[in-house]
Structure 1
């Protein structure tokens, strides 16, 4: 839903490095509506989770979301350009603590904190194999 390049409903973030941070610009549109003119909080959280994924990838790590906490300070409006920024706060063994902001011009409209757990590629391939086995046994 978030990062798949072939998904026509994906957010298709264009992420760049800025020092140790990753940054993207994003405009929420009618696909993301929660209330008239306002992005659904789940759409905002999805974009931030995706941004964190780019951060981990840039660090050379694969990870899965353990927790994601959003703090909405103001409505995220449709049709506005937002600057998304994420960074690694701390690494503790396999746990990676991250933080992000969503801003329009100089106004922060949302912040986020998340914990990711580092995994290897086998984590994903094993999950796919298991899902395939479950489907074929039905």
Structure 2
């Protein structure tokens, strides 16, 4: 029995690895965006899970702000019809496909273990709990972020690198919406006040200007009532050609 299972497992690995399927996968899959997920060939597809929806680890303030912005994603007209509101909730998925050097597909076994950095902790509430909303008209993006205990830096407070990660996540997503696929070229951060572990903060991103391939963004991290400024930052993103990125060019 063990030998049969071993042969079955090795056969499955062979089937899902590149050498067996390279001829069918000569073109890389299309990106929805450089910071969300990619489209898989049909035989590798799986239904993605949206990690930006409420779960049992969300505290009252996280839930309150989620409901506040989510209620503005759809409004009811005087005639009782539903229409798009000023804000749009942005889904957040695990990255569902990895590339090796040169764009070589890794096996499905390895792909199943691949996780977007901010979604790398499987325990709900232990690290990065967040949801993003975008306002197209105002060219603003807001992230609601609840920091878990695994993000500790200074005793009882969030690590500066974790804060930088979330700033890059929010501003990078915003830049992608504004300019298509981008990569971070520069990120300047001024830390003003530490963020207590377990607390919820607002990360607000706004467009400064666009110059050719360059998108300039400003961002601030505040308490949920805006009374305390935790962090200020500016970021520069460069538009990229995804096909060149996947080929390592």
Return the TM-score normalized by structure 2. Answer: 0.47
**1:136 aligns to what?**
none
- Distance in 2 between residues matched to 1:27 and 1:15, nearest whole Å: 12
The one of the two structures with greater contact order (alpha-carbon pairs below 8 A, sep at least 6) is 1
SS in 1 for 2:153: strand
**2:128 aligns to what?**
11
- Distance in 1 between residues matched to 2:196 and 2:129, nearest whole Å: 18
- Distance in 2 between residues matched to 1:109 and 1:66, nearest whole Å: 23
- Distance in 2 between residues matched to 1:60 and 1:114, nearest whole Å: 14
- Distance in 1 between residues matched to 2:213 and 2:163, nearest whole Å: 26
Matched, 1:26 2:145: yes
Runs of 5+ in structure 2 lacking a partner? 1-34, 37-92, 95-114, 122-126
Give the alignment partner of residue 95 of structure 1, picking from 214, 225, 231. Answer: 214
Give the alignment partner of residue 172 of structure 2, picking from 40, 53, 56. Answer: 53
Runs of 5+ in structure 1 lacking a partner? 131-138
- Distance in 1 between residues matched to 2:128 and 2:199, nearest whole Å: 14
Deviation at 1:12, TM superposition (A): 5.3
**2:205 aligns to what?**
86
1:45 to 1:57, Cα distance in 2 relative to 1, 3 A: same
1:48 to 1:123, Cα distance in 2 relative to 1, 3 A: farther
Structure with the bigger percentage of strand? 1
- Distance in 1 between residues matched to 2:210 and 2:180, nearest whole Å: 11
1:119 to 1:12, Cα distance in 2 relative to 1, 3 A: farther
- Distance in 2 between residues matched to 1:15 and 1:110, nearest whole Å: 18
Give the alignment partner of residue 162 of structure 2, picking from 20, 40, 43. Answer: 43
**1:119 aligns to what?**
240
**1:134 aligns to what?**
none
* Structure of higher CA gyration radius: 2
Return the TM-score normalized by structure 1. Answer: 0.82
Deviation at 1:22, TM superposition (A): 0.6
State how many pairs are aligned: 127
- Distance in 2 between residues matched to 1:60 and 1:67, nearest whole Å: 16
